[in-house]
Amino acid sequence: MKPFAERVVLITGASRGLGAGLALAFARAGADVYVGYRQRQREAADVARSVEEAGGRATLLGFDVTDAQAVRAAVDRLLEAEQRVDVLVNCAGVVRDGWAALQSAEDFREPIDVSLLGTFHCCRAVLASMLGRRRGAIVNVGSIAALRASPGQAGYSAAKAGLVALTRSLAAEVAASGVRVNAVLPGLLSVGMATRLDRRVLDARQRQIPLGRLGTAEEVAELVLFLASERASYIVGQAIAIDGGLSA
């Protein structure tokens, strides 16, 4: 029996990178996966195809996490079809690199709007259903930028630090009602944002990692699936770094 058989999982930011890897991992574990995306419908459709090839069921769900009404409407469509959300994984995020002294307010704010406010919108949209069933798990995907200085990423770091605080506070509010909320804090990975770094910059950062290599989407997925499962039934409000020792 697959651990997530007959479970409904919504993953935001699932059209590429780590989100796509998480969608595939949940599918292999038997889940019915809703592939959340904003603009990249073609890439999301490719992910959905991979999910189905892995033996899972995939449904595309397009919406903008920064728009509270759009989030509510999308989750309502999901609930109308499934009657529940068992797991929410908030993986949507953007980065706008630039020195803070030279950065526009809009570039600083966008990562906060997507990673922090967007996560809040998604959590709020699914919680009524989860609390009504007294069951559910939420895993928020943060970053080790929440724990250590990340020059040139002030807005992104602030968003991810806020995500840790949101995770802990929300977890304390809903744990007694059967809903667990936790976060994972990946370091540099071989997918996603790190792949867009200049090779020399990436090599320099990789040398700082005690393990001496980048992490993989599969490694992060193992932790996310664990936190979303009943095996983690006594883990609440935690933000767990998975970074090869970089934040040690």
For the chain, the structural domain boundaries read 8-242
C-alpha torsion sign, points 181, 30, 47, 218: positive
Query: Has residue 211 got a pLDDT over 70?
Result: yes
Rounded CA-CA distance 221/48 in Å is 17
Do 154 and 103 contact (CB within 8 A), yes or no? yes
Do 30 and 4 contact (CB within 8 A), yes or no? yes
Tens digit of each residue's pLDDT (9 = 90 or more) over 10-19: 999 999 999 9
Single out the catalytic residue among 34, 37, 156, 234. Answer: 156
Read off the DSSP letter of residue 33: E
Q: Which fold has domain 8-242?
A: Rossmann fold (3.40.50)
Rounded CA-CA distance 226/247 in Å is 21
Do 129 and 76 contact (CB within 8 A), yes or no? no
Q: Catalytic residue at 156?
A: yes
Which of 37-46, 50-59, 223-232 is the least confident region? 50-59
Nearest Cα residue to 95 out of 182, 184, 8, 18 = 18
Query: Has residue 178 got a pLDDT over 90?
Result: yes
- pTM for the model stands at 0.94
The residue with greater pLDDT, 105 or 130, is 130
Tens digit of each residue's pLDDT (9 = 90 or more) over 151-173: 888 999 999 999 999 999 999 99
